Amino acid sequence: MDSDVDTEALTARLKGFEGRTAATGGTGKDPVNLPMIRHWCEAMGDTHPAYTGPDAIAPPTMLQVWTMGGLSGHPARAAAYDELLGLLDAAGFTSVVATDCEQEYPRPLRPGEEVTFDTVVESVSDRKTTRLGTGHFVTTRTELRVGAELVGTHRFRILKYAPARRPSAREPDRPRRPRPVVNRDNAGFWEGVRQGRLLIQRCTACTRPRHPWLPGCNACGGQDWDTVEAVGTGHVHSYVVMHHPRFPAFDPPYAVALIDLAEGVRMLGNVVGVPYDKVRVGLPVRVEFQVCDEELTLPVWRAGEKELTLPDRRAGEEAAG
């Protein structure tokens, strides 16, 4: 660990960057334009009429969009800012997280306007310890102009930090999988899973199977039900591969799929037994009960083996037991 004297010396050096230029004479990749406004509004679900038509303005919160350098980055970035980040890296504050952003909009931006910007390092905080780890907050202030006119300011704060040490995946105190929310409507499903049985609710009035478990039938409104045990076979209806965000109990990348069960209902679950990039729509799978810890068993879906019928599965379990 470094001493208080070292900490103070570094903090003083970092604070020496306050007021220095972080970017100068920057321009966005494109002038303010209707296609980008339209994409943004669609992504945000913003249907405000001011953002369409011949007199459209840009949504104010698009401000930063007009300064972005894209994947190829910005030539505008000043050496002082890289120097500041390099100093933080060298001190062990190698991780970064954006913490907050404040913007001001002196006037709306209109299609065709060319935005330029300059950024200064507004402040570097004293050393702080957060739940993520210990480090320094760095706040930059960007002023956006059209010609000489100020059209927006954008204050952006990051935390450069040394991550708090966390147990690795192999350590026994690894965080546990999140618990399912068990309530009086679905308790029977989870009790079945605990016993290694996949139970599907079935309406006794119209015989329609349903999942997830609900108090009433979507087809006829009937409130009486019994259960059928799924044979445990199905195929992938659709899937996603999770890369990000990283949750403590998970090891990305991994595939989460919506499975079409032989009984005609769909269930979500992890696909196991094949690499995540081999999961595809239509892949045959069968259920397996994964014991996560002493309290939690989860149904997962194993690919890559022949489909089994229920008697086969029972026989297999007996043979294994």
- The DSSP symbol for 106 reads S
Tokens of 75: 């030539």
The mark string for 197-216 relative to Zn ion (x by CB under 5 A, - otherwise) is: ------x-xx-x--------
Rounded CA separation 180/61 (Å):
37
The reply on whether position 268 binds Zn ion by CB under 5 A is: no
Q: How far apart are the first and last CA of the chain?
A: 53
For residue 157, the cross-strand partners are 100, 139
The minimum distance between CB 258 and Zn ion, in angstroms, equals: 23
Length of the chain, in residues: 321
The minimum distance between CB 225 and Zn ion, in angstroms, equals: 8
Q: Which is nearer to Zn ion, 203 or 303 (CB)?
A: 203
The minimum distance between CB 264 and Zn ion, in angstroms, equals: 13
Q: Which is nearer to Zn ion, 225 or 239 (CB)?
A: 225
Residue of the chain from 50, 214, 219, 268 that contacts Zn ion (CB under 5 A): 219
C-beta separation of 22 from 78 below 8 A: yes
Largest CA distance in the chain: 80
The minimum distance between CB 226 and Zn ion, in angstroms, equals: 12
Residue of the chain from 50, 220, 249, 291 that contacts Zn ion (CB under 5 A): 220
Q: Which is nearer to Zn ion, 25 or 212 (CB)?
A: 212
Q: Which is nearer to Zn ion, 173 or 224 (CB)?
A: 224
Rounded CA separation 227/210 (Å):
10
Residue of the chain from 138, 217, 265, 283 that contacts Zn ion (CB under 5 A): 217
C-beta separation of 261 from 144 below 8 A: no
The minimum distance between CB 266 and Zn ion, in angstroms, equals: 18
The reply on whether position 222 binds Zn ion by CB under 5 A is: yes
Give the angle subtended at the CA of 245 by the CAs of 261 and 179, to the nearest 5°.
55
- Which residues, 223 to 252, sit near Zn ion by CB under 5 A? none
Rounded CA separation 80/86 (Å):
10
Q: Which is nearer to Zn ion, 61 or 223 (CB)?
A: 223
The minimum distance between CB 205 and Zn ion, in angstroms, equals: 5
Q: Which is nearer to Zn ion, 206 or 249 (CB)?
A: 206
The reply on whether position 120 binds Zn ion by CB under 5 A is: no
Rounded CA separation 139/100 (Å):
9
Peptide bond into 163 cis (omega under 30): no
The minimum distance between CB 221 and Zn ion, in angstroms, equals: 7
Burial class (CB in 10 A: 0-12, 13-18, 19+), 12: exposed
Count of residues of this chain found to bind Zn ion when the rule CB under 5 A is applied: 8
Give the distance from CA 285 to its chain's centroid: 26
The minimum distance between CB 51 and Zn ion, in angstroms, equals: 45
Q: Which is nearer to Zn ion, 222 or 284 (CB)?
A: 222
Binding site for Zn ion (CB under 5 A): 203, 205-206, 208, 217, 219-220, 222
